[in-house]
Amino acid sequence: MKNLLFLFVLLLPGWMMLEAQDVTNGTKPKVEVYYFHATMRCPTCLAVEEQTRKTLDENFAVEMKAGTIQLKVLNLEEKENKALTEKFEIGWSSLILYVPESDKSVNLTEDAFANARTHAEEFRKELQEKIKELL
């Protein structure tokens, strides 16, 4: 019995490391969801982030946990985000879907700001469809 317990204690960390590697083993995101905002945020800006998070949480929880979809909420006024704002050619609050593998981006800013507060379901449906197209 002591030998079995010793063997279990000895092997458990290795199993845990293998399991962790399966989840993160080189997993690169297939879709990166960027929400850029300014320091001062209006109700619509807050709604875009809220509805984006809600869409991802409710429809893509597995992909988010696996890392195949990543949400990155960034202040566009902070200098560490300058390279990304230049890459996507943005100067104000924006919602961008980005596929690193193909360097393809989809700008959903107009739809997001037109609908996130007043037609949230319409915005969430559009966001969900666009993400599915990119996966």
CATH number at residue 118: 3.40.30.10
Per-residue pLDDT of the chain (135 residues; tens, 9 = 90+): 555 444 444 444 443 333 333 344 356 779 999 999 999 999 999 999 999 999 999 999 999 999 999 999 999 999 999 999 999 999 899 999 999 999 999 999 999 999 999 999 999 999 999 999 998
pLDDT for residue 28 = 74
Phi, psi dihedrals of residue 76, rounded to the nearest 5°: -70, -10
Residue 27 confidence (pLDDT): 62
The pLDDT of residue 13 is 44
Residue 116 domain-assigned (yes or no): yes
In a domain, 14, yes or no: no
**Is 44 part of any domain?**
yes
**pTM beyond 0.75, yes or no:** yes
> Read out DSSP for the chain?
-HHHHHHHHHHHHHHHHHHHHHHHTT---SEEEEEEE-SS--HHHHHHHHHHHHHHHHH-HHHHHHTSEEEEEEETTSGGGHHHHHHTT-SS-EEEEEETTTTEEEE-HHHHHHHTTTSHHHHHHHHHHHHHHH-
> Could you tell me if residue 10 is inside a domain?
no
Contact between 27 and 64 under an 8 Å Cβ cutoff? The reply is no
Overall domain count for the chain: 1
